[in-house]
Amino acid sequence: MTRLLIIGAPGSGKGTQGATLASDYGIPAIATGDIFRHHIKTETELGQQVKAIVDAGNYVPDSLTNEIVKDRLLEDDALDGFILDGYPRTPDQVTYLDELLASGGQSLDAVIQLKADTDEVVERLRKRAIEQGRLDDSEEAIRHRQDVFARETAPLVAVYRDRGLLIEVDGLGQIADVKKRITASLAERGVARPESATA
């Protein structure tokens, strides 16, 4: 019964660590971007709404994002825990998630923030863009996304820090090393992996 949220700037390794944690703790990794893409690909009613909004160059509104996340959290595999990635992103989404979890007598166990030096992350993303042939992904564009992320997530980080839920972890280095830091920090808070909890 582990309920986590992972926060990290683009290029911080958030997706990689989220997937690893999901495997280790036996919970699904729930990334809103993946959910949106799934709904669009399978042409569900929600997917058609999201596609129309995105195609118009607009952001998916909180109300629709909340609905999609609620549907996902009510699926069987998420009833005993999950790790959220990319949600919540606004104070209103934080409130919605609080109320949704509280309605089932639940709450988040911890919020993991992957910290990474901006210059190093920019260099990592720039290298990846070149390797993947995305030559329009300039350093300026990458830095802009980093700035936007920092500005948008600052209020959320403050909320979870005030609640005593925030775990700050150095996200740079080898994947295995970052994973060890996260696992150790969670264990300190009493959030143990299933096998260690039963050992």
158-168 pLDDT, tens digit each: 999 999 999 99
What confidence category does residue 195 fall into, taking pLDDT thresholds of 50, 70 and 90?
A: low
In a domain, 84, yes or no: yes
Q: Which of 51, 89, 143, 193 is catalytic?
A: 89
Among candidate residues 142, 118, 8, 71, the one with its CA nearest the CA of residue 19: 8
Percentage, residues of the chain above pLDDT 90: 50
SS3 category, 81: strand
What confidence category does residue 142 fall into, taking pLDDT thresholds of 50, 70 and 90?
A: confident
In a domain, 48, yes or no: yes
What confidence category does residue 138 fall into, taking pLDDT thresholds of 50, 70 and 90?
A: confident
CA distances (Å), origin 133, targets 33, 34, 68, 141, 172:
22, 23, 33, 15, 24
pLDDT tens across 6-63, in order? Answer: 999 888 889 899 999 999 999 999 998 888 888 889 998 888 988 898 888 777 888 9
Q: Which of 145, 161, 179, 193 is catalytic?
A: 145
In a domain, 189, yes or no: yes
Q: What is the CATH number of the domain that holds 47?
A: 3.40.50.300
**How much is the mean pLDDT over the chain?**
89
In a domain, 123, yes or no: yes
How far from each other are the two terminal CA atoms of the chain, in whole angstroms? 16
In a domain, 151, yes or no: yes
d(CA 190, CA 13): 24
- What is the DSSP annotation of 80-102? TEEEEES---SHHHHHHHHHHHH
Q: Which of 70, 115, 127, 128 is catalytic?
A: 128
d(CA 172, CA 115): 8
Q: Is position 115 annotated as part of the catalytic site?
A: no
Q: Which of 134, 163, 180, 189 is catalytic?
A: 134
Q: Is position 145 annotated as part of the catalytic site?
A: yes
In a domain, 102, yes or no: yes
Among candidate residues 68, 76, 75, 72, the one with its CA nearest the CA of residue 48: 68
How many structural domains is the chain composed of? 1
Q: Is position 14 annotated as part of the catalytic site?
A: yes
pLDDT tens across 145-162, in order? Answer: 888 888 888 899 999 999
Among candidate residues 114, 61, 116, the one with its CA nearest the CA of residue 89: 61
Q: Is position 189 annotated as part of the catalytic site?
A: no
Q: Which of 3, 14, 126, 181 is catalytic?
A: 14
What confidence category does residue 197 fall into, taking pLDDT thresholds of 50, 70 and 90?
A: very low
Retrieve residue 166's tokens. 């925030």
Beta bridge partners of 154: none
What φ, ψ does residue 187 adopt, rounded to 5°? -60, -40
In a domain, 82, yes or no: yes
Range of the domain at 127: 2-194
On the question of a cis peptide bond just before residue 88, with omega within 30 degrees of 0, the verdict is yes
In a domain, 199, yes or no: no
Report pLDDT for 183: 94
Q: Is position 124 annotated as part of the catalytic site?
A: no
